[in-house]
Amino acid sequence: MQIIESRADLQAWSDAERAAGRRIALVPTMGALHAGHLSLVREVRRHSDRVIVSIFVNPTQFDDPNDFSGYPRDPETDLAACREAGADVVFTPSVGELYPEGASTWVEVQGLSDPLCGATRPGHFRGVTTIVTKLFLAARPHVAIFGEKDFQQLAVLRRMTQDLGFGIEILGGQTVRESDGLALSSRNVRLGPQARRQARVIPEALDLAESLLASGESRRDVILETVTKKLGEASRAHIDYAELRDPVALEIAPERLEAPVLLAIALKLEADPDGRGAAVRLIDNRMLETRVLESPAARGPLIPFKGEIR
């Protein structure tokens, strides 16, 4: 496994691999790697010959300086995990390498970046799309993979890749969960014991919404009210958002749900009262399948068929 720190060196490596006819994959990460990240490495390996994992805590996508400074960093453990997962290259650039002095160019996707996380974290997606563009130009991959836990990010990056004509296949990796259903996140390690227990309301709320839809409930507001009530059971948490959205355009779902719909949740958990842990914001989502129940009266009277079947 090679460790590369400069864009020029990574481009040269990728150019040589491309010239040899090999297909290159990129797994962008901010480090603090867990089983979810490693599942992305294994999945994208099935679609490529060479895998690059980038590790870079991107300062421009943090709206809170404390969140950036407190983001977990463990480079030695990350490198060992990449080696075990079978990465061919780990790209570990400095901030100055990707944002040289005087840099003033940004990449921004309008529309899809506006709701959900975009509404409460101004500038977040501009930072994401800008850094991913830089990584694409450095790694020159044929395919890249991002976790479906960050559903809006995945949608934004797919749009950016299409609009800018990168010619890169974008894959989504399934969310990996802990034994109690909480989605794996690098931020989970910052939760205090009490906050960690309360965080379980997130997967419980997702399960509850799924059960309601399976039972035939299709009223958007009823489902959201139930989800909000469940999230409210976490006494030391604040709801950033809990919304039902169209999974393609991310527009607000209709009052009656008649097609697959995205339930997206963001919850801010406080540090424990005894000072253990830190304030942590967690996101999660689930694609919900609807089941519209139609009454016999709505279908109209049954008319006997008297013709000939041909």
Distance CA 145, CA 6 (A): 21
37 is catalytic: yes
Cα separations in angstroms, 303 against 159, 247, 299, 307, 309: 48, 38, 11, 12, 16
Cα 80 from chain centre: 24
Q: Of the listed 37, 124, 142, 238, which one is catalytic? A: 37
Distance CA 55, CA 40 (A): 14
Which token pair is 19? Answer: 């010239």
3-state secondary structure of 277: coil
3-state secondary structure of 109: coil
Which residues are CB-neighbours of 294 under 8 A, at least 6 positions away?
A: none
Distance CA 64, CA 71 (A): 11
Q: Annotated active-site positions, please?
A: 37
